[in-house]
Amino acid sequence: MSKLILSAALLIVVSAPALAQDAEREGKCEDRKAKHEARFNEMDADASGTLSLDEVDGRMADHFDEIDTDADGELTKDELRTFGEARRAERGEKGEGKGKRGEGKGRREGRES
């Protein structure tokens, strides 16, 4: 009986940090989702619920056509989420880190305003 109690106590002690990390990750994930939502709404100047090329900049503009999977000239939250998930998976497979914001020439260069 004491072995059972000792084993249960040990299991709790060993698993507690993992459970705490899961809770912390979940909180960070929710924070990240909230930041993405706020950023999307901030960029959506016409409040259409989508982003046009004129409303985006930097890396998002660089990859606009790649993100815009239905080629309608507008980025939806689902298209952005799918692209982000694919990029994270790709980086994970290749062991690459994040690039610096604003790297690349961008699709806007050379465009007339």
Reported as a single tens digit per residue, the pLDDT across 38-87 is 999 999 999 999 999 999 999 999 999 999 999 999 999 999 999 999 99
In a domain, 63, yes or no: yes
Model pLDDT, residue 61: 94
Give domain status of residue 22, yes or no. Answer: no
Euclidean distance between CA atoms 78 and 96, whole angstroms: 24
Number of domains the chain is built from: 1
**Is 1 part of any domain?**
no
Residues 50 and 78: beta-carbon distance below 8 Å: no
* Domain range for 32: 27-108
Kindly report each contact of residues 56-61 with a partner whose C-beta sits within 8 Å and lies 24 or more positions away, as own/partner.
57/106, 57/108, 58/101, 58/102, 58/106, 59/99, 59/101, 59/102, 59/103, 59/104, 61/106, 61/107, 61/108
In a domain, 58, yes or no: yes
User: Is 9 inside any structural domain?
Assistant: no
Question: For position 54, what pLDDT does the model report?
Answer: 96
pTM of the model: 0.58
* Residue 38 in domain: yes
Instruction: Tell me which DSSP letter residue 99 carries.
Output: P
Domain membership of residue 20 (yes or no) is no
- Judge whether 13 lies within some domain: no
At 51, is the secondary structure helix, strand, or coil?
strand
pLDDT cut 90: percent of the chain above it: 45
Indicate which CATH number applies to the domain containing 101: 1.10.238
